[in-house]
Homo-oligomer: A and B are copies of this chain.
Amino acid sequence: MVSEATARRVLGAAESLGYLRNHTAASLRTRRTRTVGLLLQDLSDPQSALFARGLEDQLATAGYVALTGSTECDAIRERMILTEMRGRHVDGLILAGRAARASLVAEASKIGLPLVTAGRVPGSSALPAVSADLPRGARMVVNHLAALGHREISCLTGPGENGRYQEFVAAMVARGLQPYPRGVIAKSLTAGEGRRCCRQLLAADALGTAVIATSDMLAAGCCQALAEAGRACPQDISVTGFGDLPVADAITPTLTTIRLPQYHLGLQAAQLLLDRITDPDSPPTARLLAPELVVRGSTARAVGTVLTEDPTHN
């Protein structure tokens, strides 16, 4: 109706005159706020923050912003946050990580808003979902250790990491190994707990030649316990982590671990939600993102072993 160039000129002039479209009024009229709600357990968790940053970046490309609510997996908080977001008429919701527990997913679904879950193992639900390929990550670790000649591998896990632990067990079984001994369970995902559990395994002489920890913090604690016990890592015992937190590169020895694509998960979650908002009837795609094996200094050949395969190949 009017040439592209002219349109631009007008818009430019408007802007230089200080005009800014009133987003609030537009939202009221169009019933779209270009705002989405992000529910996660705790924004201050570094992995969550990385996810949130990815989300922010992708949403920004479409003129969207996120409202973040930390649920702490508490029903009261969840209720309040959901109410707040409904009142603010968000265009969609993202449930990330542990916050995406069944009860919340159910409650959020009832609202009838586009919904995406992130970082949860895709279940039976027919929701769009993004998550890291945990089974694959577990296989990468197990294959790496197995290729280094490790046969007696213990496993250290903690609260909320049972999914990861199960994947490790499955990967070991697939490789003809079995956890040695049964997994040890920390009370929290802290270095202190990793240290304590590792000491316990040491005392029982039940470490094997390698320890798989289901999170980097536990692995870091493990390395501390080994150091204080005078056991050399990786010469005597190999240790692996999971997550590739900043800590992985900062401990001695540097930690071999699996890098989870948190930032990328954020990008993808945003895109999936934007797609859903644009076309609510689009099929609920699930996206699985590949993790990455980062080989550093905490893994080495099992003592008295000859290499038969490439430990960096998966």
Contact = CB atoms under 8 A, between A and B. Distances in A.
Given A70-B56, A246-B245, A23 B89 contact: yes
B246 A224 contact: no
20 contacts: A20-B83, A22-B87, A24-B89, A43-B49, A44-B46, A44-B53, A44-B263, A46-B49, A46-B246, A53-B70, A56-B70, A65-B68, A66-B68, A67-B67, A191-B246, A220-B250, A224-B254, A246-B246, A250-B250, A251-B252
Contact of A249 (B25, B60, B83, B190): B190
A48 B49 contact: yes
A79 to B, nearest CB: 12
A227 interface: yes
A224 B297 CA distance: 12
Interface in A283-308: none
A220 B252 CA distance: 9
Contacts of A103: none
B52 A44 contact: yes
Interface string A23-38: 1110110000100000
A191 B23 contact: no
Contacts of A46: 44, 46, 49, 246
Contact of A250 (B66, B84, B251): B251
Nearest to A246: B247
A276 to B, nearest CB: 21
Interface of A: 20-25, 27-28, 33, 42-46, 48-50, 52-53, 56-57, 60, 63, 65-70, 80, 83-84, 86-89, 190-192, 217, 220-221, 223-224, 227-228, 245-247, 249-252, 254, 263
A265 to B, nearest CB: 12
A60 B68 CA distance: 11
A287 B190 CA distance: 32
A8 to B, nearest CB: 17
Contacts of A57: 70
Contacts of A246: 46, 191, 217, 245-247
B249 A192 contact: yes
A126 to B, nearest CB: 25
Contacts of A83: 20
A233 to B, nearest CB: 10
A306 to B, nearest CB: 27
Contact of A223 (B49, B220, B245, B252): B252
A174 to B, nearest CB: 31
A65 B44 contact: no
Contact of A217 (B20, B33, B250): B250
Contacts of A53: 42-44, 70
Contacts of A28: 22, 24-25, 28
Contact of A52 (B24, B43, B220): B43
Given A56-B43, A247-B246, A88 B65 contact: yes
A65 B90 CA distance: 12
